[in-house]
Amino acid sequence: MTEELSLEARILKFFKEFRDEHDRLKYVEMINALPALEDKVVKIDFNDLFYYERELAQELTENPFEFIDAAKTAVIEVLKVERPLDVMHISKDHIYVAVSGEEPGYPVRLRSISSKYIGKLITVQGLLVKVTQIFSVPVKAVYECNVCGAEIVVERRNISEKMSKPSCPEHRRASCKLVKEKTLFTDIQYARIQERPDELPPGQIPRFIDVIFEKPMVDKAYPGDFVKVIGVLDIRQRQRRDRLEYDFILVGNYVESREKEAFEVVITREEEEEIKRVAREPGFYDKLIRSFAPSIYGYNEIKEALLLSLIGGEDKELRDGTKIRGKIHILLVGDPGLAKSQLLKYAAYIAPKGIYTSGRGSTAAGLTAAVIKEPGGGMSLEAGAVVLADMGVCAIDEIDKMRNEDRVALHEAMEQMTVSISKGGIIATLNARTTIIAAANPVDGIFNPYKPLVANINLPVTLISRFDLIHTIRDELSEERDRRLTEHMILARESDIPYEDTFDTTFMRKFIAYARRLNVKMTREASDLLQEYFINMRRQASMTEDVSSIPITPRQFEALIRLAEASARAHLRTKVTEEDARIAINQMNLYLRQAAMDMTTKQVDVTQIMTGTPARKASKTSTVLSIIRDLVNEKDGEAVNEEDIVDTVIRKTHIKNRDEIMEIIDKLKQNGVIYEPMPGFYKPVHSK
Ligand code: ADP
Ligand code: MG
C-alpha cells in the first residue's frame, strides 16, 4: 500500500503518526514549535524512521536530496493544519531538515570514501581541522535581463551545486544582472575533517574531506573538535591545466561535536581485571618504567617522568571557580644524539591521542592554530598539533625552532588550556587541554653547564617556567656506560628476543588510558611531606647569605601535587600516599639539581629558570671559583695548577682574558677563599 503513496505523503504520514517511547507525537510537537524559532530545524532521527518504516529510511539513504526536499513540503503540510495563521509567513525555504542518529545512511570511514557513495547519505567521523570564514551565497537568485527587464529565477537544489548566470530567453546575447533585493541568500562555510591520529595506520598521512555547511549548521563546531558529520557525498570540479578532475565534497546536513572520551581506548572487563591483577604484583611500578621505550638504554628517571606525564594529575575546579590544570608538561634539553627524539616518539605512540610533531608543526597551522589565506580567496582557521591533541598528549620535538606566533599561543595553551585567535575576521577560542612533552637542543649545540639553563635553551623564560619538570641529558664520557649502551643497542636490534621482563606496547597503552581515568585523593600524610619539602627548601634559601636566592616557588609546589597524583594513578591507588609524595619529590629534586643548579655557587636557584637572571648574579669571581672547585674534585682533592685553571676558564666560560683570570685568582687568594699549598697550585679553603 505504501507503494502507491508519494514520498512526500509517506513522510507526512511518518510525521503525523510516529510516537516516541513516551507515546508522544514527537514530530508534530517539533513542527508545532517552529514558527517561534529563528532556526526552523526539524531534526529527523534516522532510527525513528528506520523503526517506523524501513523502506522510508532506505529512501533517505539512497536519495537524500529528494527525501529532504519532500520532507520540507511535508513540514509545511503539517504546519497548515497545526499553525494555519503562521504558515502564511513560512515557506519551504525557511525550513531546515536535519538527519541525526547514531550512524544514519552509510557509515563510511574517511579512508573508504569512494565514488560509489556519490549522491548517498553517509555518516563520517573525524577531527575538524579547519573552518573557513562564513560566506553568503544565493540559493534562489532572481536575475533581470539588461535589455527587456524580464525576471529569470535560478534555483539550486543543494549548496554544492554550481549556479551560473542565466541568459534571457528573448535576448540571448544580452547580459543579466542579479537583483539582490529579490534574491534569497544563505550563509555557508567550508570545513575540513581529517582522520584522527590514533586511527591512522602507522606511517600513513591522514585522509581528509572538505565539507560544506549551510546555515544553521555553520559555526556549530570548531577546529580541534571530534565531529560526526551526516551529509551527502558529492563531487566538485577542479580545473587542473588541461584535464578535468573531481574532488569529493560532503554536503553537510548535520554536525555533532562528540565527547572526546567516546574515542578513548576501549578497555574490556577482562582487560580491566588483568590490569588490576598485574598492578598488585610486587615490583609493578618499576616494571612499568622499565617497559617505557625499552629499546632505549638507561634514562630511568626520565622515563619515569614521561610516564607520570602521560598519566597526569587531576584537572580541578576550585570552589571559587578557578581552574587548575592537572597536565604535567615536561621538557628535555640536551646534547644531540641522545635519544630525545626517540623518547618523544615513543611517548606519543603509547599516549591516548598522542601526536608527535616538530617545533615548526607539520602543517601551515603550525603548533597551535592559524588564520590562513585560502588559495581560492577568503580566510580559514586551521588547528595545529597542540589543538588537535586536545585531551591527549602532544610531543613537540625541537621546540626551540617554533615560530613566533606559536610562542605566544603556547603560553596560553600550557596554562589556560585554550588557544585564542583573532585575525582576518575570525575570532575563536579553541580547546587545548593538552599535555606537552617537548625536547630542545642547546643553543650552542652542546649543553654548557656553566651557563644558566635559560641561556642554554632558545625559548622565552616565561614559557620555560611553565614546564613542571625540565630534565637535562648530557653526553657523559664513561667507557663502562658506553659498553653497556652499545650492548643494549645490539640486543635491541635482534627482533626475535623480547625485552626482558617488560610489558608490551598494547598493555602500556591500555594501562595509561586506564590510569588516566582514576580519581585520586590527597592524604594528610602525603600533603604533609610535600609541604615540609617545600617549606624546607624555602628555609634553606633564607639562611644563605643571599636573600634573593629563592630555590623553589609555589609553581613547583603545584607541580609536586600533580606528580604525586600521577604516581598514585600509576600505582592504581585512589589515595595519594607518602610513597607518591616521595616519588614526586625525587623527580623535583632531580630537576632542580640538574637544571637549576647555579654552577657558580652550587646552589639550587629556581629564580634563575623563572626570571632569567640568577638571583645571585654570577660574578666572574664565583665562576672562576667554581671551576677551581670542579678541577680539585676531579683530582680527588689535590691542588690544581694555575695554568690548568686559566685554560679551563677560557675554554668553558665567557671570561677569555688571561690577565683578568690571574687577577681574579689573586683576589680569591687574598680574600682567603683559596690557598696555595705549593707555588702555582691552588685549592679552595672550604671544599664541598
Ligand atoms: P636526539 O633527538 O637526542 O638528537 P635521537 O633520538 O635522534 O637523538 O637519537 C639518535 C640515535 O641514537 C637514535 O637512533 C637512538 O635510538 C640512538 N640512541 C641514543 N641514545 C640511546 C640510548 N640510550 N639507547 C638506545 N639508543 C640510543
Ligand atoms: Mg632529535
Buried b (16+ CB within 10 A) or exposed e, 550-562: bbbbeebbebbbb
Q: Average pLDDT for residues 383-411, to the nearest whole number?
A: 90
If you measure from the C-alpha of residue 447 to the centroid of ligand 2, how many angstroms do you get, rounded to a whole number? 14
H or E, element range at 598: strand 597-598
Q: At what angle do helices 300-311 and 505-516 cross, to 10 degrees?
A: 50
| Contact by Cβ (8 Å): 576, 522 | yes
Tell me the residue length of the chain.
Answer: 688
Q: How far apart are CA 299 and CA 312, in angstroms?
A: 20
Task: Report the percent of the chain where pLDDT is more than 90.
Answer: 41
Residue with CA closest to ligand 1 atom 14: 339
Ligand 1: list residues with CB < 6 Å: 296-298, 336-342, 485, 489
Where in the sequence of the chain do the CATH 2.40.50.140 domains occur? 107-257
Nearest atom in ligand 1 to 439's CA: 2
- DSSP character at residue 546: -
Question: For 284-314, b where at least 16 C-beta lie within 10 A, e where not — what string?
Answer: ebeebbbbbbbebbebebbbbbbbbbbbbbb
H-run or E-run covering 678:
strand 674-678
pLDDT band at 324 (very low <50, low <70, confident <90, very high): confident
Tell me: pLDDT of 204 over 80: no
Taking the domain 2-101, which CATH number applies? 3.30.1640.10
Among 292, 299, 342, 396, which residue has the most ligand 1 atoms within 8 Å of its CB, making it the best to mutate?
Answer: 342
Nearest in space to 428 (alpha carbons), one of 441, 445, 412: 412
- Is the four-CA dihedral 513, 516, 517, 518 of positive or negative sign? positive
What are the DSSP calls for 383-415, one per residue? Answer: E-HHHHTTTSEEEEETGGG--HHHHHHHHHHHH
Window from 119-133, 357-371, 508-522 with minimum mean pLDDT: 357-371
Q: What is the mean pLDDT of the chain?
A: 85
Q: According to CATH, where is 1.10.10.10 located in the chain?
A: 615-684
pLDDT value of residue 332: 95
CA of 340 to the centre of ligand 1 (A): 7
443: Cα separation from own chain's centroid: 26
pLDDT of amino acid 606: 61
- Residues 6+ positions from 467 with CB-CB distance below 8 Å: 329, 330, 331, 436, 438
Give 307 Cα–ligand 2 centroid separation in angstroms.
19
459 Cα distance to chain centroid: 20
| 517-543: average pLDDT | 84
**Closest residue to atom 9 of ligand 1, CA basis:** 339
- What is the C-alpha to C-alpha distance for residues 615 and 610, in angstroms, rounded to an integer? 10
Q: What is the pLDDT of residue 483?
A: 85
Residue bearing the bigger pLDDT, 511 or 476:
511
Q: Give the whole-angstrom CA distance, residue 26 versus residue 23.
A: 8
Cα 396 to ligand 2 centroid, rounded to whole Å: 10
584/571 Cα distance (integer angstroms): 13
CATH 3.30.1640.10 domain locations along the chain: 2-101
Closest to 471 (Cα-Cα) out of 353, 618, 304, 623: 304
Q: Are 144 and 179 in contact (CB under 8 A)?
A: yes
The residues, ordered by sequence, that sit 6+ positions from 161 with a Cβ below 8 Å of its Cβ are none
Please give the C-alpha separations between residue 447 and each of 76, 230, 332, 439, in angstroms, as whole numbers. 73, 53, 12, 13
**141-155, 239-253, 517-531 — most confident range:** 517-531
Nearest atom (ligand 1) to Cα of 336: 4
pLDDT digits (tens, 9 = 90+) for 368-392: 988 888 877 788 899 999 999 988 9
What is the pLDDT, as a whole number, of residue 610? 52
Nearest-atom number in ligand 1 for the CA of 344 is: 6
| Minimum CA distance residue for ligand 1 atom 17 | 339
- Separation of CA 334 and ligand 2 centre (Å): 10
pLDDT of residue 88 exceeding 70: yes
- Expressed in angstroms and rounded, the spacing between residue 645 Cα and the centre of ligand 2 is 34
Q: What is the mean pLDDT of residues 257-275?
A: 80
Tell me the ligand closest to 475's alpha carbon.
1
Fold of 107-257: OB fold (Dihydrolipoamide Acetyltransferase, E2P) (2.40.50)
What's the pLDDT band for 548 if we cut at 50, 70, 90? very low
Residues 261-275, mean pLDDT to the nearest whole number:
81
Pick the CATH number of 615-684 from 3.40.1350.10, 2.30.30.110, 3.40.50.300, 1.10.10.10: 1.10.10.10
Tell me the CA–centroid distance for residue 237 and ligand 2, in Å.
42
Atom of ligand 1 nearest to the CA of 397: 2
Extract the runs of DSSP E, i.e. beta strands, from 195-242. 208-214, 226-240
Task: Let me know: does 400 contact 458? Beta carbons within 8 Å.
Answer: yes
Q: Is the pLDDT assigned to residue 327 strictly greater than 90?
A: yes
Residue 193, pLDDT > 90, answer yes
